[in-house]
Amino acid sequence: MNITTENTEAPPPAPQPSAAEQKRASRGATRAGDRIFLGLSRGSGIFLLVIMAAIAVFLTYRASLAISKDHGNFLTTFEWDTNVVPPVFGIAVLAFGTVVSSIIAMAIAVPVAVGIALFITHYAPRKLGTPIAYVIDLLAAVPSIVYGLWGALVLVPHMQGVFGWLNDYFGWTGIFSWQGGAPRALLTVGVLLAIMILPIITNVSREVFRQVPQMHEEAALALGATRWEVIRTAVLPFGRSGVISASMLGLGRALGETMAVATVLSPTFDIQASLLDPGGGTFAQNIASKFGEATDQGRDALIASGLVLFVITLLVNGAARMIIARRKEYSGANA
Amino acid sequence: MSHAAVTDRRPSTLRGASLPKWSPWAIAAGSVALGTGIGLGAGLDSTIQWGLIAAILFVLGTYVIAARVEGRRQAKDRIATSLVWVCFLAAVIPLASLIWETLKRGVKVFDVYFLTHSMGVVPDTQPGGGIYHAILGTLEQVGIATVIAVPVGVLTAVYLVEYGRGKLAKAVTFFVDVMTGIPSIVAGLFILSFWILILNMGYSGFAGSLALAILMMPVVVRSTEEMLKLVPNELREASLALGVPKWRTILKVVLPTSIGGITTGVMLAIARITGETAPVLLLVWGTNFINSNPFKDPQASLPLYIYQQYANSAGSGAAYDRAWAAALALIGFVMILNLVARGIARWKAPKTGR
């Protein structure tokens, strides 16, 4: 089918004028239509690229306005006073909170999601597997604000006990010490983010596990492998790159999650050694909660922090897609 | 020797000792009882901890018993099985709780009055009021976003599948993938910096639609692309062989064949952007009054309404109930869209000829 386009686009060699003219007469309308249609579709592809470029350009422009007026160091200052003159703000706390909460979320969500994906593809009775996969698909569609409401209502009170327990037994590490405030800390955020990104990691991993060649599994079984050995020797190696990219997609979600974090975290602008004491914030949460009372100056500062978030997610997603692209059979549609 | 005879004699000495079939259940029951006992004895007040203790006991118990009776390989197999089950159950609990709480708290003030009235002059602390203005705003914003995003998305997918070779197509594919992962708040900030701060256009529903369209485009491209790839080449070739120009082949053969799948993809994309709060918060600003003009002045929107009612409620009272009722409405809308979309996908699935 591609040959046709190339033929119509190539200039006719015209060995015999009469034949060429005849050809052109019968193809004239065709060419115009084709050209317009190709132009339109190529144009929309280019339009998407332009949008991506525009996002980078406009954010950088506004961010540079803000950073040039910043009287602190944009990367290392532990403050966010944008409405005073001169403004002092920096992203150190936000970067810390974003990275830490995402790491917690990944540490919880990836193993559990791989477990669920294995459950659906290899452990659940067939009658159970399909509806479960379906329900998890649906859960991926639950809006993040609803997760936020649920987190504030159910998760926060339940974390009280967990926090106490962690403080009793692991308080000596410093990471899990707790002064007894409301459990609206980074650890809670991490747990909530883990729950939120479970469906997407599960869905993508499940697709990959489904594509493991039946022959590999049967070969392992024929050698007397137990089910776990089949999974370890045939399924997991095959699905490794898929699971990695699924996790990175989940990581991208966790990094950029806004409303759920904004409803659950009680942000302060300092870094606590303990994950259990209220402290820190994330890029997205800070933008959402500071935006309401921000002056023009403050908005530009928030845009600057948004630019950092954009670059981070771009890198994470780009890396995930590179890994997926290496395995061509699997495409991340709807992921 | 027949096949049946072999299967009949399964628990022979060749297979070694194995635990009876009911043993996982027995171990599960035992560990739950022990977990509850320990929880009660130690005075732990969180039932989640009881559950965790029971789960750990179950995994350990399975390993020890199986290792003694069946050997280490079988024990490892059993421990993997029980871990996978524990993973599944651990994940189902919060997700089920989410749905349950939304239903339970949402139905309190969810009625026809709630759906057909705006917040108008209702103070946050008072009962009454509703989400009419928010539903209106959401429908308009999502509608405009769809009108912008779907043509661009479908055309891009057509380009990638039907025409795309070479560097441009590769670049588009890659950036569409990356674009899927743009945080919604970044899309909001982009429109903010471009539309509101530089073009000085003011907060409006349309500004929100622009951001939502950016979020929607890559999703539409990806799903449409998958669907176009499913259209058998024979159909295209038959049409081209009849002398039909390529663009007419695409419009009259390829797109109609895959229209079911494309519709599904579009509906799933709509379901996704309907729940987006962050860009709406930045660009549409929100109002308590009915504003049916998306091009001028702030509008309300369902997710934004939930957030504002929650933020104004301090965790209880009329505003809190309204937030949950609106959450129920939003979840209901998104779930119905999802179910209908999947229904269409099943009903109109293209025959791959395999």
Residue B236 shares a structural domain with residue B296:
yes
Residue B69 lies in a domain: yes
Q: Would you write out chain A's pLDDT as a tens digit for each of its 335 residues?
A: 444 444 444 444 444 445 445 445 445 455 788 889 999 999 999 999 999 999 999 999 999 988 888 887 888 888 888 877 788 888 888 999 999 999 999 999 999 999 999 999 988 888 888 888 888 887 888 899 999 999 998 898 888 888 888 888 888 887 888 887 788 889 999 999 999 999 989 988 888 888 888 888 999 999 988 889 999 988 998 888 888 888 888 898 899 898 899 888 888 888 887 888 877 889 999 998 888 888 888 888 999 999 999 999 988 888 877 877 766 554 443 33
Domain that holds residue B24: 13-106
Q: Tell me which chain A residue has its CA closest to the CA of residue B225.
A: A333
Whether residue B5 has pLDDT greater than 60: no
Task: Please give the average per-residue pLDDT across B73-100, as a whole number.
Answer: 85
Domain count, chain B: 2
Distance from chain centroid for Cα A104: 15
Residue B63 lies in a domain: yes
Predicted confidence at residue A113, as pLDDT, reads: 93
Mind telling me how many Å the CA of A224 is from chain B's nearest CA? 11
Least confident range from A109-113, A246-250, B3-7, B346-350: namely: B3-7
- Which residues of chain A does B317 touch, with a Cβ-Cβ cutoff of 8 Å? none
Q: What are phi and psi of B33, to 5 degrees?
A: -60, -45
Choose among A218, A8, A252: nearest CA to B180: A252
Is residue A282 within 8 Å of A190, Cβ to Cβ? no
Predicted confidence at residue A333, as pLDDT, reads: 36
Residue B30 lies in a domain: yes
Contact A37 B250 (CB under 8 A): yes
Mind telling me how many Å the CA of A6 is from chain B's nearest CA? 10
Residue A34 contacts B where some CB pair is shorter than 8 Å: yes
Instruction: Please state the pTM of the whole predicted model.
Output: 0.85
Residue B312 shares a structural domain with residue B225:
yes
Residue type, B56: I
H or E, element range at B308: helix B302-311
Residue B276 contacts A where some CB pair is shorter than 8 Å: yes
Give the pLDDT confidence of B327-342 residue by residue, as tens digits.
Answer: 999 999 998 998 888 8
**Using the 8-state DSSP alphabet, how is residue A276 labeled?**
S
| Of the partner residues B77, B218, B225, the one whose CB lies closest to the CB of residue A226 | B77
Predicted confidence at residue B13, as pLDDT, reads: 56
Residue A208 contacts B where some CB pair is shorter than 8 Å: no
Is residue A230 within 8 Å of A221, Cβ to Cβ? yes
Residue B140 shares a structural domain with residue B222:
yes
Is residue B263 within 8 Å of B146, Cβ to Cβ? no
Q: What are phi and psi of A105, to 5 degrees?
A: -60, -45
Predicted confidence at residue A275, as pLDDT, reads: 84
Residue B240 shares a structural domain with residue B322:
yes
| Of the partner residues B44, B91, B158, the one whose CB lies closest to the CB of residue A116 | B91
Mark which of B62, B90, B106 sits at the end of a domain: B106
Window A:240-299, CB contacts with B under 8 Å = 249, 252-253, 255-259, 262-263, 284, 287-288, 291, 296, 299
* Percent with pLDDT over 90 in chain A: 28
Tell me the C-alpha distance between B293 and B284, whole Å.
Answer: 12
- Which residues of chain A does B187 touch, with a Cβ-Cβ cutoff of 8 Å? 55
Predicted confidence at residue B3, as pLDDT, reads: 47
Mind telling me how many Å the CA of B17 is from chain A's nearest CA? 15
Helices B184-191/A296-326 angle, 10° precision: 130
Residue B23 shares a structural domain with residue B91:
yes
Predicted confidence at residue B301, as pLDDT, reads: 92
Predicted confidence at residue B44, as pLDDT, reads: 67
Residue B145 lies in a domain: yes
- Which residues of chain A does B48 touch, with a Cβ-Cβ cutoff of 8 Å? 158, 161-162
CATH number for the domain that contains residue B329: 1.10.3720.10
Residue A182 contacts B where some CB pair is shorter than 8 Å: no
Is residue A199 within 8 Å of A260, Cβ to Cβ? no
Q: Tell me which chain B residue has its CA closest to the CA of residue A249.
A: B181
Predicted confidence at residue A12, as pLDDT, reads: 47
| Of the partner residues A44, A61, A227, the one whose CB lies closest to the CB of residue B159 | A44
Task: Please state the ipTM of this predicted complex.
Answer: 0.85
Residue B152 shares a structural domain with residue B288:
yes
CA torsion angle A220 A225 A229 A231 (round to 10): 40
Of A151-165, B3-17, B85-99, B145-159, highest mean pLDDT: B145-159
Length of chain A: 335
Is residue A112 within 8 Å of B87, Cβ to Cβ? yes
Supply the CATH classification number for the domain A91-330.
1.10.3720.10
B348 versus A68: the higher-pLDDT residue is A68
**Using the 8-state DSSP alphabet, how is residue A335 labeled?**
-
Q: What are phi and psi of B147, to 5 degrees?
A: -60, -35
What is the pLDDT of chain B when averaged over all its residues?
85
Give the pLDDT confidence of B201-246 residue by residue, as tens digits.
Answer: 888 999 999 999 999 999 999 999 988 988 889 999 999 999 999 9
Task: Please give the average per-residue pLDDT across B250-276, as a whole number.
Answer: 90
- Which residues of chain A does B19 touch, with a Cβ-Cβ cutoff of 8 Å? none
Window B:69-128, CB contacts with A under 8 Å = 73-74, 76-77, 79-81, 83-88, 90-91, 94-95, 97-98, 101-102, 105
Residue B178 shares a structural domain with residue B317:
yes
Residue B279 lies in a domain: yes
Q: What are phi and psi of B186, to 5 degrees?
A: -70, -40
Rounded to a whole number of angstroms, the CA Rg of chain B reads 28
Residue B127 lies in a domain: no
Banded model confidence at residue B81, pLDDT cuts 50, 70, 90: confident
Cα atoms found within 13 Å of the Cα of residue A58, Cβ hemisphere only: 20
> For chain A, what are the domain ranges?
91-330
Q: What are phi and psi of B126, to 5 degrees?
A: -90, 150
Contact B102 A150 (CB under 8 A): yes
Residue A319 contacts B where some CB pair is shorter than 8 Å: no
Choose among B153, B308, B39, B112: nearest CA to A47: B153
- A205's CB contacts (< 8 A; 6+ apart) are A113, A114, A117, A239, A242, A243, A246
Residue B138 shares a structural domain with residue B58:
no
Q: What is the full DSSP assignment across B155-182?
A: HHHHIIIII--HHHHHHHHHHHHHHHT-
Banded model confidence at residue B16, pLDDT cuts 50, 70, 90: low
Is residue A138 within 8 Å of B102, Cβ to Cβ? no
Tell me the C-alpha distance between B228 and B255, whole Å.
Answer: 7
Residue type, B306: I
Tell me the C-alpha distance between A237 and A217, whole Å.
Answer: 12
